Amino acid sequence: MADIIQLLPDHVANQIAAGEVVQRPASVVKELLENSIDADAKDIKLIVKDAGKTLVQVIDNGKGMSVTDARLSFERHATSKIRNAEDLFQLNTKGFRGEALASIAAISHVELKTKKVEDELGTAIEIEGSKVMSQEVVVTPSGTSVSVKNLFFNIPARRNFLKSDTVELRHITDEFHRVALAHPSIGFTFYHNGSELFNLPQENYRQRIVHVFGTKTNERLVPVEESTEVLKINGFVGKPEFSKKSKSEQFFFVNNRFIKSPYLNHAVKAAFEGLIKDGYHPSYFLNLTVDSKTIDINIHPTKTEIKFDDEHTLYAILRSSIKHSLGQFNIAPVLDFDHQNQFNTPYSYKDKIANTPKVEVDRGFNPFREDISGSNPNTQKSTFKTKPSESWEGLYVGLESKSNFIEQPIGEIALESETKSKSFFDDNGQSIETRKTTFQLQHKYIVSTIKSGMLIIDQNRAHQRILYEGFLKHITIKEATSQQLLFPLELHFSPNELEILNQIKSDLEHTGFVFKDVSNNRIIISGVPVGVAESEVSIILEQLISDIENEVPDTNFSATDLLAKSMAKSLAIKNGQNLSNTEQEHLVNSLFACKEPNLSPTNRPTFITLGVDDIEKKFK
């Protein structure tokens, strides 16, 4: 029998490796940015076209590569970081596996230009699908420029799995945020289709967070600092009142590397226990520094998961540090039964000497001695200063009238009316309660009678269906009624959130929103849909942004559908809300006037029926 096991060709092996390393354009962005950081670059420029499908280019001013290094960088397992197996447990750099450039070159057209600072000329290499097309000497600035074009050109199936430009750009922006936040000492610039999205100068950590997520973020940050033998923590957490429904502002960095850790995330949530509402997530930007020997990075191809030697200790230190910071800045109450606050010295009197109080006493005072100083000139006058008593007659000035009562005509005096008890019967003797067609159960369900038995309606889902069809109609026919605000409403968002709002701005205007200005990390709203309270506007927009980030649609129709669903979910009557009998009847009538009254916008039943036969079975 012939042998059936054989070695894979290099180009096939590279394509298989690319499946692990390069999942979408954002993976290319991550690898190229990390290579530039390892090259000690101080300014990095990211240029993207068509959400990375057409072009991903990274330009840096790092130390560059020689001719030999430039050629070897595209070979598999070629790396400058590892010499032996022990080096895997002492990693302080980003790229070390030697598969990134080889995998990227296997599935795209790559153009590399690089030059070392001390060299006069640089090197240019062009590769298509792992095949070197050209290599020549060129004039180029110091540093490295890598252009990745036509991603997955030779794997059409993988290219078809890519999402819309909106989705892919969001993933690229997420990777850009993670790298930029981990390295505030490096300047970053991000361009998409010729327009500048981010321009981040070299700055400190707090300034970097503010530049990425908007100016209003500055007042929401609470600093966290802790230094132990096991772990050093520095960074910020968000104040509890600014918690969000999405996890878009949660960042852990271990030794300047972004990681995902559900275990450590639970430690942060435990520190915020009792301070945020259910369904909301705290914001945090935390840098953790540990000994590189105590972690294992090489357990996942994307290197976003890390294995710690002692997770329990890190959990306890992280939780207590955040609770201490929240208490120190009066965000959360702190109970310390061994500490007596009444003996604390105020900071303004800390270094001052206490003044001894002076008490003045009249030693010659005798309460039984009459004051005869006027008649006997030899009597000694008292030197003690007394406050002259006021004349008691002045207390009664203006009360000379015969009566203290204010004269008022009897006709103008309001008498307390008798309490009228509610009658259980109307004028015809019919019970008022029996005329009700609906009643509310547990402030959650509306119960109504029908010929075949009983109808039980979920008030929240029913109202969602009513609002959903109404919003869909307004957006489709582009006619909506809006109510003008007396004072325009100003809301602040991050650049990424503003980009999402700009994409759906026209659809929002068709529902009744009136935008006065959208720029500089803020929006000014001068009108809202009829029935929307001013206090609910920020909640609606945040929920809408969260929904779009989690399930971005691929077509305009689904974008409209998602917008209508999100607004209906935000504005619908909540369970637990009391409804009058008129409101109950109006809700029931409006529901059955819908085109699809049986299901909510999320395809859940809005009502159930309980027939007379079903009720009779309960009594058997």
Give the CATH number of the domain where residue 35 resides. Answer: 3.30.565.10
- Is 130 in contact with 11 (CB distance < 8 Å)? yes
Q: What is the pLDDT of residue 203?
A: 93
Tell me the DSSP string of 345-412: PPGGGTTPPPPPP-----TT--TTS---TTT-TTSPPP----PPPPPGGGGGTT--SS--SPP--GGG
Same domain (yes/no): 220, 115? no
Same domain (yes/no): 260, 195? no
Among the three residues 328, 363, 386, which one is the final residue of a domain in this structure? 328
Same domain (yes/no): 48, 187? yes
Residue 91 forms part of a structural domain:
yes
Residue 413 forms part of a structural domain:
no
Directed axis angle between helix 495-503 and helix 537-550, to 10°?
A: 90
Residue 205 forms part of a structural domain:
no
Residue 439 forms part of a structural domain:
no
Residue 112 belongs to what domain range?
10-200
The CB density around residue 570, as the number of other CB atoms within 10 Å, is: 19
CA distances from 55 to 37, 141, 472 (A): 20, 21, 37
Q: What tokens were used for 70?
A: 């430039």
Residue whose C-alpha is closest to residue 113's, from 148, 153, 160, 145: 145
- Is 179 in contact with 33 (CB distance < 8 Å)? yes
Tell me the DSSP string of 407-446: P--GGGPPPPPPPPPPPSB-TTS-BSGGG-SEEEETTTEE
- Give the CA-trace dihedral at 566, 572, 577, 582, to 10 degrees: 180
Q: Phi/psi of residue 144, each to 5°?
A: -140, 140
Q: Which residue has the tokens 């993933």?
A: 171
- Give the CA-trace dihedral at 391, 392, 395, 397, to 10 degrees: -70
Residue 355 forms part of a structural domain:
no
- Is 332 in contact with 326 (CB distance < 8 Å)? yes
Same domain (yes/no): 184, 251? no
Same domain (yes/no): 237, 145? no
The CB density around residue 542, as the number of other CB atoms within 10 Å, is: 17
Same domain (yes/no): 107, 245? no
Domain CATH number, residue 581: 3.30.1370.100
Q: What is the pLDDT of residue 248?
A: 82
Tell me the DSSP string of 251-266: EEEETTEEE--HHHHH
Residue 141 forms part of a structural domain:
yes
Question: Which DSSP category does 551 fall into?
Answer: S
| Buried-state track 211-230, b at ≥16 Cβ within 10 A, e below 16 | bbbbeebeebbbebebeeee
CA 558 to chain centre: 24
Report CA torsion sign: 252, 253, 257, 262: negative
Domain CATH number, residue 285: 3.30.230.10
Residue whose C-alpha is closest to residue 233's, from 169, 304, 174, 289: 289
Q: How far apart are the first and last CA of the chain?
A: 76
Same domain (yes/no): 265, 146? no
Q: What tokens were used for 497?
A: 């959130």
Residue 417 forms part of a structural domain:
no
| Residues 216-263 pLDDT 10s | 888 889 999 999 988 899 999 999 888 887 788 899 999 888 988 888
Q: What tokens were used for 316?
A: 């306890």
Among the three residues 328, 357, 372, which one is the final residue of a domain in this structure? 328
Q: How many residues can be counted in the chain? A: 620
Could you give the CA distance from residue 99 to residue 20 in angstroms, rounded to a whole number? 10
Report CA torsion sign: 401, 403, 406, 407: negative
CA 405 to chain centre: 64
Could you give the CA distance from residue 477 to residue 482 in angstroms, rounded to a whole number? 15
Q: What is the pLDDT of residue 191?
A: 93
Residue type, 470: G
Q: Which pTM value belongs to this model?
A: 0.67
Q: Phi/psi of residue 153, each to 5°?
A: -65, -30
| Buried-state track 267-285, b at ≥16 Cβ within 10 A, e below 16 | bbbebbeebbeeeebbbbb
Residue 438 forms part of a structural domain:
no
Same domain (yes/no): 102, 20? yes
Could you give the CA distance from residue 183 to residue 253 in angstroms, rounded to a whole number? 10
Q: Phi/psi of residue 507, each to 5°?
A: -65, -40
Same domain (yes/no): 187, 222? no
Number of domains making up the chain = 3
Same domain (yes/no): 27, 134? yes
Could you give the CA distance from residue 553 to residue 544 in angstroms, rounded to a whole number? 13
Same domain (yes/no): 263, 129? no
Q: Which residue has the tokens 């321009």?
A: 199
Q: What tokens were used for 58?
A: 């990274």
Could you give the CA distance from residue 492 to residue 523 in angstroms, rounded to a whole number? 6
Among the three residues 200, 228, 260, which one is the final residue of a domain in this structure? 200
pLDDT beneath 70: ranges in the chain: 1-2, 10-20, 77-98, 297-303, 330-351, 370-436, 478-480, 531, 549-559
H helical segments located in 526-580: 537-550, 556-571
Same domain (yes/no): 71, 113? yes
